[in-house]
Structure 1
């Protein structure tokens, strides 16, 4: 079942909504029991980082615009450009930061546990 974007869905914003502009594109049940698929367009202003956070499932992402560093705990930091993809395993802390010169834009598809917050900021 598909839903409207988060701004009209009545769902509370996720933990990253205060730092980044995030628009839920679609949400649907998954063929994997207990999982749902959520697709989100994220816009990161120049010099802004998401903050270290996790997701309750995989994040499969694609950089639409800009240059974004993706720090992933336990791995080398990636420098991603428009056209690059990335994969974040479930529960792995990571932090995305736009290097500029313009706004970074990424499209992420999450395959996550139903009923869990899409993103959890780490302290």
Structure 2
């Protein structure tokens, strides 16, 4: 049985290597949000603290709430969830990157919503450790986080 208290954090070393090889500037580069030099582990130091989890009124689903902290120049790594994520930026600046849509710049006080199964990456583009409060309503039979 999957224990949500052991949330996954994937190493982003392979992704960092691939990103460092890109020849063309990304939309983020044009917006002044370029990545710092290639980092052997861009997800190092990212923490996800389980705050609470409860069965949902919908059978087979559960509500999970976490506090995610991302240090300066670090990122969550590309991942998805088996349900929705409703979040709030408690502190910091994040570039929320998606595989299927343009990135979204989020700052302290901004809410966000990520649909079921959407692959995303939260990249700290600010000057402090970012803190995000994330609440998920997810399929209780699947892992909370699937990394890519």
1:28 corresponds in structure 2 to 54
Greater share of strand: 1
Q: CA RMSD in A?
A: 1.5
Q: How many residues align?
A: 113
Shift of 1:14: 2.0
Inter-partner Cα distance in structure 2 for 1:38 and 1:11: 9
1:116 aligns with 2:142: yes
Inter-partner Cα distance in structure 1 for 2:5 and 2:111: 28
Distance 1:17 1:121, change over 3 A: closer
2:4·2:144 contact (CA, 8 Å) conserved in 1?
no
Flag structure 2 segments of 5+ consecutive residues without an equivalent: 12-42
Matches within 5 A, 1:87-98: 87-98=113-124
Task: Decide which structure has the larger Cα Rg and report it.
Answer: 2
Greater RCO, 1 or 2 (C-alpha within 8 Å, sep 6+): 1
Inter-partner Cα distance in structure 2 for 1:110 and 1:32: 13
Greater share of helix: 2
1:68 aligns with 2:94: yes
Flag structure 1 segments of 5+ consecutive residues without an equivalent: 1-9
Inter-partner Cα distance in structure 1 for 2:6 and 2:142: 13
Structure 1 stretches of 4+ with a deviation exceeding 4 A read none
- TM-score normalised per structure 2: 0.72
Deviations 1:33-73 (A, max 9, x none): 11000000000000111111010100000000000010122
Counterpart selection for 2:78 from 36, 52, 67: 52
Shift of 1:119: 0.5
Inter-partner Cα distance in structure 1 for 2:67 and 2:75: 15
